[in-house]
Amino acid sequence: MKYFLIVILFLSISVTNGQQIKTDFAKNWEYIGVAVDEPGYTIWGSSPIIDENGKVHLFVARWPARLKVDPGWRSHSEIAHYVADNPEGPFTFHDIALTGTGKDTWDKFGAHNPAIHKIGDKYYLFYIGNNNPERPAHPSNQCIGLAVSENLNGPWKRVGENGLILSPPQNPDYWNYKPTNGVNNPAFLQHPNGGYFLYFKSQSGKMGVAISENPEGPYVQLPFPVTRNNQTVEDGYAFVMDGKICLLTTDNHGLIEKGGGILWRSDDGIHFDEKEQGYFPFTKYIPEKHTQIATQIYGSMIKLERPQVLILDSKPAYLYAPSGFNIYGDESTVSYILKRVHRQ
């Protein structure tokens, strides 16, 4: 028994830069299949929520596949709504939830990277947008907005005057003053101790947080990042697990393993000093035959992007994420499903 426990301990850790990194969370994902495949569209971030009847709704960023990914996501992205009878699908298109305004607003273009949540009897749809898609890649004009509805089928109304809830700080002492990529890719959490935390990516691929007493804002950004990383991470999803505030992010350049994910843990939701592997590179979950026929649409490696989690019974149950590669050899991106399993 002693040697068996040693083997199990060894299997549950990896070594990165001389540090032992836990992999328990990552090894318990299992590939299920495709969530959303919409011919003619590039599919990106897919945010899930379950309704009172057990149906699962995905709010998905998409834009015409005839456009290049960049700047297509900035100029033509819209948020589409798909529905399934259970978390594993099949998901079918229902309606368009949100688009750019097309008017002289901060979000004239590219409603993108949705995050859907329910607070009380209302649904909150966080998103990003910009007012000029011709700016250089990852432009500083990205900001975060919010639309609210009493029904997942809409209609969705932007909060306040124009939906804007977070833009780059004006204080030069803040860590992301005049950021080259604005504030983007929202992750929302109703903090167990009170208040509403809005996590985001900004300068140098670090995660920050803004806090409010009301889910509609106003949000006040803290002056420092919440993650300690000298390599880019992004696309956080926030949730509570085992008494800790967790952020599941991508690992773009190998803070733990390039192309995988990072699970950050915090006692207060502000200082994320613990991290472990959140998921492995996508190729470790899929049959090898798929890596051989995968079509490259965007990016340089087969990896999952913009991970979004479905929480069931207060625990992570499913992971929805797109990839720049279609592992079935088709010509446009899709959204994939991973299921949480309990391995011995």
Q: List per-residue pLDDT tens for the chain, 344 residues long.
A: 332 222 233 334 455 555 688 999 999 999 999 999 999 999 999 999 999 999 999 999 999 999 999 999 999 999 999 999 999 999 999 999 999 999 999 999 999 999 999 999 999 999 999 999 987 766 789 999 999 999 999 999 999 999 999 999 999 999 999 999 999 999 999 999 999 999 999 999 999 999 999 999 999 999 999 999 999 999 999 999 999 999 999 999 999 999 999 999 999 999 999 999 999 999 999 999 999 999 999 999 999 999 999 999 999 999 999 999 999 999 999 999 999 998 65
The number of beta carbons lying within 10 Å of the beta carbon of residue 318 is 22
The H or E element spanning position 129 is strand 122-130
What is the structure's pLDDT at 137? 67
Q: What is the pLDDT of residue 17?
A: 55
Report residue 68 as tokens.
Answer: 């290049």
Find tokens 């992999």 and name the residue.
23
Per-residue pLDDT at 174: 98
Listed residue (16, 19, 48) closest to 35, CA to CA: 48
What per-residue confidence (pLDDT) applies to 6? 28
Please give the Cα distance from 249 to 252 (Å, whole number): 9
In Å, how far are 118, 204, 266, 319 from 220, measured between CA atoms?
21, 20, 20, 29
d(CA 131, CA 38): 27
Task: Check residue 40 and give left, alpha or beta (phi > 0: left; psi -120 to 50: alpha).
Answer: left
- Per-residue pLDDT, 139: 77
Can you give the pLDDT at residue 19?
A: 65
- Which domains occur in the chain, in start order? 14-340 (2.115.10.20)
User: Do residues 332 and 41 make contact, with C-beta atoms less than 8 angstroms apart?
Assistant: yes
Residue 336 has which token pair?
């994939």
Distance, in Å, from the CA atom of 234 to the CA atom of 209, rounded to the nearest integer, reads 13
- The per-residue pLDDT for 12 is 42
Comparing CA positions, the residue from 248, 329, 270 lying closest to residue 296 is: 329
